[in-house]
């Protein structure tokens, strides 16, 4: 008797035909330049996250500076998230058409300038305007960072690399928390502004590091192939014209996949922002801890996220991307009570560690999962836009929780305060169910050699993708109908 389809569907059917190498063997084959590409992608996402969380860590100080309630300060987080999709579209198109190097450099410098400018604003209106512009800069980074980090690595390394790369997000959060813990109190005259200026310097450094590396090997190879095609065929349509034509065909063919990716990323971003954006405020307001204790708890939670990303990314290479995601999210649900019920610092921080381990462990699979699902040649655009549209849908997470806190109240040390514990417990629990269901029913292209696909500026990229997709679908449907032994064996693995 065969297992139900939704269970069999979680077992990955690997796209690669050759036998995969052991991880340690594949790691030995990674060249210094390929390591450089990976580090550049990781650094970009780390600095991007550090820039973003400067606001989350400064809500209390920003309230004092601008004389605004927490709900108004979190509006800047919402604005940043709303504008990230625009940056993903603009820079995703530029990166897939013109290369990985200089668009990422420009994006990081854009982040640095706006983060620096945030530290000089005088009014709340100026603060909101700069953070909205920062959303465009921040939204441009993830798709390009993931492409830089993963597309040049061996297939067997990509799961682990995906988990480590994605947790640059939490490493950036940790760096921001460390700066907020030690540097900001040491410069009372600058206060929260010192955190923003430090983050700006980190983004500028990441841009300089990427400048030292060459263009992506995958992109250079595709450009050389296109030049050779033009030379031998005598046709010179122009890469931009070809890119527009092939991209439109690819997006039309994969529109259902695009919708699925956006809906999935909405769930993931609701989980991430719902558990992280107001966490320092939650610890101080609802639980009554000091800003220093909240920063320490944030650092420990970020350590859990980093560990979870690496472990889950590695595991996804063996048990599948979506199965790993489901396991991590179920683990998250199990630890929600420890995250919101205790009143002691140690227990709450332990809960935060395991909640972060589960949510960001699942998130660690996302860079490689979206890269493998992506239409060929549109990895920076597809992944970046899906990620940031999901962010846009979830952009009001902090405000939803802040509003919920206005209506659900509790008493701490005799003082009436927002009950963020109950609000976040309900919020995260609901989104967990939604995201698990989407992960179960979705597609997967485990271990696909997407680096061999044509890029969108190459003639025939869409035609090659359509033909390959039809062939794979026909083969799988035929195998299922005949109960092919090879497929049955894969289902048992």
User: Measured between alpha carbons, how far is 53 from 47 in angstroms, rounded to an integer?
Assistant: 10
3-class DSSP state of 188: coil
Between CA 72 and CA 80 the distance in angstroms is: 13
Of all residues in the chain, what percent carry a pLDDT higher than 90?
A: 54
pLDDT of residue 492: 39
Please say if the pLDDT value at position 441 is more than 60. yes
pLDDT band at 469 (very low <50, low <70, confident <90, very high): low
Q: 440 in a domain, yes or no?
A: yes
Mean pLDDT of 164-180: 90
Give the Cβ contact number of residue 35 at 10 Å: 13
What was the pLDDT predicted at 467? 60
C-alpha to C-alpha distance for 429 and 355, rounded to whole angstroms: 11
Residue 134: its pLDDT value, please?
Answer: 94
Q: Give the model's confidence band at 447: pLDDT under 50 very low, under 70 low, under 90 confident, else very high.
A: confident
Instruction: Tell which wins on pLDDT, 18 or 64.
Output: 64
The structure tokens 């441009």 sit at 140
The alpha carbon of 157 is separated from its chain's Cα centroid by a whole number of angstroms, namely 18
Check residue 2 and report its DSSP letter: P
**Residue 326's closest CA among 240, 405, 439, 234?**
439
Find the mean pLDDT for residues 418-430: 93
Alpha helices in 277-344 (DSSP H): 279-285, 291-319, 321-340
Q: Which of 118-127, 272-281, 416-425, 477-486 has the lowest mean pLDDT?
A: 477-486
Q: Where does the pLDDT of residue 228 fall: very low under 50, low under 70, confident under 90, or very high at 90 and above?
A: confident
Calpha distance 168→163 (Å, rounded): 9
Q: Which of 77-91, 256-270, 326-340 has the lowest mean pLDDT?
A: 77-91
Beta-carbon-side half-sphere exposure of residue 148 (alpha carbons within 13 Å): 36
Closest CA to 151 of 356, 376, 335: 376
Is residue 171 domain-resident? Answer: yes
Distance, in Å, from the CA atom of 228 to the CA atom of 134, rounded to the nearest integer, reads 40
| Overall average pLDDT of the 463-480 stretch | 54
| Residue 350 falls in which region: left (phi positive, over 0), alpha (psi -120 to 50) or beta | alpha
Helix (H/G/I), strand (E/B), else coil: 176: helix
Residue 222 confidence (pLDDT) above 60: yes
Asked if residue 318 belongs to a domain, the reply is: yes
For residue 423, how far is the Cα from the chain centroid? 24
Q: What would the pLDDT profile of 279-323 be if each residue is shown by its tens digit?
A: 888 899 899 898 889 888 988 998 999 999 999 999 999 899 999
> Among candidates 44, 55, 63, which has minimal Cα distance to 285?
63
323 located within any domain: yes
Task: State residue 414's pLDDT score.
Answer: 82
32-77 pLDDT tens trace: 999 999 999 999 999 999 998 899 888 888 998 999 987 788 888 8
SS3 of residue 1 by DSSP: coil
Instruction: Indicate the DSSP class of residue 155.
Output: G
Read off the pLDDT of each residue in 366-379 and give the average, rounded to a whole number. 90
| CB-count exposure of residue 344 (10 Å: 0-12, 13-18, 19+) | exposed
SS3 content of the chain, % helix, strand, coil (to 5): 80, 0, 20
- For the chain, what is the mean pLDDT? 87
Residue 259: count of CB within 10 angstroms of its CB? 12
Instruction: Identify which of 144, 153, 199, 164 has the alpha carbon closest to the alpha carbon of residue 33.
Output: 153
| Model confidence pLDDT, tens digit, residues 89-130 | 999 999 999 999 999 999 999 999 999 999 999 999 999 999
Predicted confidence band of residue 457 (pLDDT cuts 50, 70, 90):
confident
Q: CA-CA distance, 82 to 87, in Å (whole number)?
A: 10
Q: What does the alpha-carbon distance between residue 136 and residue 120 come to, in Å, rounded to a whole number?
A: 19
Q: Can you say whether the dihedral through the CA atoms of 432, 438, 443, 449 is positive or negative?
A: negative
pLDDT digits (tens, 9 = 90+) for 197-208: 999 999 999 999
Q: Is there a domain that residue 425 lies in?
A: yes
CA 421 to chain centre: 25
User: Any idea what the CATH number is for the domain that residue 148 is in?
Assistant: 1.20.1250.20
Q: What is the pTM of this model?
A: 0.85
- Would you say 114 and 133 are in contact if contact means Cβ atoms under 8 Å apart? yes
Residues 380, 338: Cα–Cα separation, whole Å = 38
Instruction: Give the largest Cα separation in the chain, rounded.
Output: 81
* H or E segment to which residue 412 belongs: strand 409-412
Share of the chain above pLDDT 70, in %: 90
Nearest one of 104, 43, 96 to 380, comparing CA atoms: 96
User: What is residue 477's predicted lDDT score, i.e. its pLDDT?
Assistant: 44
> What was the pLDDT predicted at 6?
60
Q: Is 445 left (phi over 0), alpha (psi -120 to 50) or beta?
A: beta
Span 444-461, average pLDDT = 85
Kindly state the average pLDDT of the residues 394-416: 86
Task: For 219-274, give the DSSP string.
Answer: HHHHHHHHHHHHHHH-----HHHHHHHHHHHHHHHTHHHHHHHHHHHHHHHHHHHH
Strand-pair partners of 418: 409
Answer whether 305's CB lies under 8 Å from 297's CB: no
Start-end of H helices in 67-167: 70-98, 101-118, 124-139, 141-150, 158-166
Mean pLDDT calculated for residue range 411-439: 92
Structural domain of residue 307, as residue ranges? Answer: 23-219+242-459
Is residue 367 pLDDT above 60, yes or no? yes
79 in a structural domain: yes
214 vs 183: which has the higher pLDDT: 214
What angle do helix axes 193-211 and 168-178 make, rounded to 10 degrees?
A: 140
237: in domain: no
1 is a domain residue: no
Number of domains in the chain: 1
Token digits of residue 185:
């109190």
Backbone angles phi, psi at 351, to 5 degrees: -60, -40
């Amino acid at each position: 008797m065969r297992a139900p389809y939704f269970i069999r569907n979680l077992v990955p059917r690997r796209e690669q035909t050759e036998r995969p190498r052991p991880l340690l063997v594949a790691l030995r084959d990674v060249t210094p330049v390929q390591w450089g590409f990976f580090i550049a992608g990781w650094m970009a996402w780390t600095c991007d996250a550090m820039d973003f969380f400067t606001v989350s860590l400064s809500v209390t100080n920003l309230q004092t500076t601008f004389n605004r309630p927490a709900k108004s300060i979190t509006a800047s987080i919402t604005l940043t998230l709303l504008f990230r999709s625009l940056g993903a579209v603009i820079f995703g198109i530029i990166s897939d058409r013109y290369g990985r190097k200089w668009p990422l450099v420009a994006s990081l410098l854009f982040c640095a300038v706006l983060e620096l400018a945030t530290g000089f604003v005088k009014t709340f209106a100026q603060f909101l305007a700069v953070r909205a512009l920062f959303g465009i800069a921040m939204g441009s980074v993830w798709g390009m960072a993931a492409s830089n980090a993963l597309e040049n690595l061996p297939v067997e390394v990509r799961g682990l690399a995906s988990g480590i790369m994605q947790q640059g997000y939490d490493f950036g959060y940790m760096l921001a928390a460390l700066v907020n813990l030690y540097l900001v109190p040491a410069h009372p005259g600058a206060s929260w502004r010192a955190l923003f200026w430090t983050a700006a310097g980190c983004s500028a450094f990441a841009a300089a590091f990427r400048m030292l590396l060459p263009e992506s090997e995958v992109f250079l190879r595709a450009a050389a192939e296109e030049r050779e095609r033009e030379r031998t065929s005598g046709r010179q349509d122009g890469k931009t014209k070809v890119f527009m034509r092939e991209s439109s065909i690819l997006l039309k063919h994969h529109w259902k996949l695009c919708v699925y990716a956006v809906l999935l990323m909405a769930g993931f971003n609701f989980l991430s922002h719902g558990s992280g954006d107001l966490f320092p405020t939650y610890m101080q307001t609802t639980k009554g801890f000091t800003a220093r204790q909240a920063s320490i708890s944030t650092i420990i939670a970020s350590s859990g996220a980093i560990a979870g990303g690496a472990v889950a990314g590695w595991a996804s290479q063996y048990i599948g991307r979506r199965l790993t995601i489901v396991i991590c999210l179920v683990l998250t649900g199990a630890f929600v009570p420890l995250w919101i019920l205790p009143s002691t610092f140690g227990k709450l921080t332990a809960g935060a560690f395991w909640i972060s381990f589960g949510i960001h462990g699942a998130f660690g699979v996302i860079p490689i999962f979206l890269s493998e699902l992506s239409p060929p040649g549109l990895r920076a655009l597809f992944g970046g836009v899906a990620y940031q549209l999901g962010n846009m849908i979830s952009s009001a997470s902090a405000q939803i929780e802040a509003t919920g806190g206005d209506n659900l109240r509790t008493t701490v040390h005799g003082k009436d305060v927002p009950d963020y514990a109950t609000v976040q417990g309900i919020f995260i629990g609901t989104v967990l169910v939604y995201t698990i269901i989407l992960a179960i029913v979705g597609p997967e292209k485990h271990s696909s050699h997407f680096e061999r696909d044509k890029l969108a500026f190459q003639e025939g990229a869409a035609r090659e993708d359509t033909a390959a997709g039809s062939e794979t679908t026909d083969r799988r449907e035929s195998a299922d109908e005949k109960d092919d032994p090879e497929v049955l064996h894969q289902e048992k693995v």
